[in-house]
Amino acid sequence: MRRAILTLCVLGAVGFAGWQGLTHPKTPLPDHWNPLTPLNVAAPVTPFTGMKLRGALTDGALCATVTAPAAQLTQLEDRVVSDQCGIVDRVSLSAVGDSQITPVETRCQIALRMAMWEVHSLQPAALAHLGEPLSRIDHMSSYSCRPIRTTGGKGQRMSTHSTADAIDIAGFVTQSGRRITLLEGWSGTPDEAAFLRAARDGACDWFRTVLGPEYNRLHADHFHLQNVGWGTCR
């Protein structure tokens, strides 16, 4: 019994010393392996990334702080339009990672998810399938005070675009100027089709809801990427 306790104490001490060693100021634990530091968008993905991302997504000020180094964004005052429409944690976004975006007003949460998607999914997919990096992401809109659209017409509920909790992405442009649209590329050349499917699958890692051409004909020309939802990925 005594021996067991002694062993536990020794193991505990070694573990503590090991942790201390790793977090010693002179040999710091890399931020992406340290659960206590805020998210760094550009850092490699680790088991702590999801937790750090959730932390930044629930705190508007922290969201802007961690997104800024990996994006071009300007923080704006919340926009209140009505009970159902407006933008909380509003930013103007004009680039994520190495990709330019036509300036769009959206929530910081969308900007942060876009940045994670660009760095960790889109650029690797572009290199793998298109052989070159992206320089541009083409969006259709984020904020729009309107009901949801269904294949049967206008729905009863308001769209998540009413609070800028969504953004619609129509295509991409590579560094050499090659343009890939969902409308033509989804069923286009094998490399474009593979890139767009990888882009969709990657979006599912960073957004809560992703609807694309496989969802319905209303999404034949764009990915609908949402900050809210329960994991729909189609």
- Residues lying near Zn ion in the complex (CB under 5 A) are found at 166, 168, 224
* Closer Cβ to Zn ion, 75 or 144, answer by number: 144
Amino acid at 155: G
Give the nearest distance from C-beta 168 to Zn ion in angstroms: 4
Q: Measure Cα distances from 85 to 147, 157, 159, 176, 225 in Å.
A: 11, 12, 10, 39, 18
Nearer residue to Zn ion within complex by CB, 73 or 166:
166
Record the tokens describing residue 77, joined without a space: 């005052």
Residue with smallest beta-carbon separation from Zn ion: 224
Nearer to Zn ion, 54 or 146 (CB): 146
Considering the complex, what minimum distance in angstroms separates the CB of residue 159 from Zn ion? Answer: 7
The answer to whether 53 touches 61, Cβ cutoff 8 Å, is no
CB of 134 to Zn ion, least distance (A): 21
In the bound complex, what is the minimum distance in angstroms from residue 148's beta carbon to Zn ion? 9
- The amino acid that residue 173 corresponds to is V
CA 14, 19, 25 angle in degrees (round to 5)?
A: 130
Whose Cβ is closer to Zn ion: residue 70's or residue 204's?
204
